[in-house]
Structure 1
Amino acid sequence: MAGSFLTTKPVTINNNISPKHPLVFMHQAKSGGTSLRASLHEAAHRLNLKTYIPCHDVDCQEYNTVGQVAAIYGGHFCWKSMVKDFYSRGVNQFSCVTIFRDPVPRVLSCYSYRLVGKLGSAPTCVADVPPEQLKSELQGHACVDEPFRRIGDCNAAGEIEHFHTDQEHVQGWSLTLSHLSQCVPLIIEEPESYKVAAAAFPQLAEAFLDLGKVKLNKNKEYDEHCHPTQAHLRAVRAVTSQESRIYKAARKRMWQLHRLLVK
């Protein structure tokens, strides 16, 4: 399926972002997307484009786009409900951008942010959690499989590691890759990817190129003296095996688009 994904047609350049042809930023958690939300919000308002971006236009905990009319959306949205709402309003074409991050540091960041900071339910260092328990905690608190959840199906794709049949597994992958083929995949470890988004969405080129200057926010809950053992890293790699595969496919797709769009 990843091979077929890489043969899909390139994304369409959107030279005129508007409520009829909006741009949606599908924000994957703990991938540097907070900075992009802010950049898109600022750039859009300089262009007098209406935005719907949680933490800027509405409460940070808003995850629903239904009934919201804007030229630019950015947040932890659900693809299915978003597209259904678009179509009901006659919006049949939209552009998409998302950010990927290497799954191991992304998941470790989720551990610190969610389990330690938000919930206060885990030690500040993953090395203080038995590896098998760590796997269970990461899965149980939705730290893994973020691309499938955000780009695929909010309800089911978060459980992709636990699908009971090959058919369910294939459907989860197929749905996610089908949606992802419509997006520009930014790769936080690859600054050249920002040039792809700048070329695909020239009105907002400055906002994307400025991402190259941004450093990830330091997680206040991160224990600088924490050094995960090899057993803990193996546990994290085990629960991110599916995410790692789609991350690699997204990187290949980005470089394909780079060759086509970046002059």
Structure 2
Amino acid sequence: MSTHEESTAALRRREIRLSRGDAELTLLPGAGGRIGSLRIAGTELLRQGAGYGSFPMAPWCGRTAQGRFLNGGVHHQLPLNSPPHAMHGPVHDAAWRTARADGASAVLVHDLAEPWPYPGRVTQVFELGEDALTLTLAVETTGDSFPAQAGWHPWFLRRTDGGAYGGGGPVELDFAPAWQEERGEDHIPTGRRTEPRPGPWDDCFGMPDGVDVTLTWPGRLELRVTSAAEWVVVYDEQEEAVCVEPQSGPPNGLNTAPRLVTPIDPLEVTTTWRWRALG
């Protein structure tokens, strides 16, 4: 292994540990600025392993159709990392810088570069409380204006093991969306809104009063995901985990619901995960 490869591997292994009360949070700045672990009283809530935990999505969320988007009169082509689409934005597997980390809070920063065609910066803020975790994502431009999205992709364990809240049955989801985005055969929303349908899901839902989804591990723990964002993707097709993804726009939103980031108007979105013991 070359010296560069060794230093890159070491960077990806570097961890930041935050704690408050019986809550413990592990951040991985070198592995996409993701949350590697969230433990409550010793019980892990996130699926472990490369690509899991909880990662940020920016400057787009989910799939961008064929990796193409338009900014004014300029067409752009993004790499197709999930052919035939561009998936989740480039920051979820990039290295982030640690701007601050102290006990129960941290700030991570990533400067946008190729393959994203515009200069800019993404900032993450983590604030851990005794019964809640608040996450903030901000996208700003350092040059021309561009359309953007931001959100999170947590992999919550379907079943927990160990600690005070381990064991027992699978997690249950409870939410009341106003509509479901009809998903085409290519997994891109068709633009038609339907009544919410039973799962399993790999689908986007509209919650115009803000995202509000409760995950319950029966008799053990309840975790409520809230955000002023109006869109949430729910993915529960895997046996090991379920994903509840608050985001600022729907999949392919760079094309269908663009939110322009300008030098005086950055994009900022926040989510809170609040938990309580049951029984």
Is TM-score (shorter-chain normalized) higher than 0.5? no
Instruction: Select the structure that is richer in helix.
Output: 1
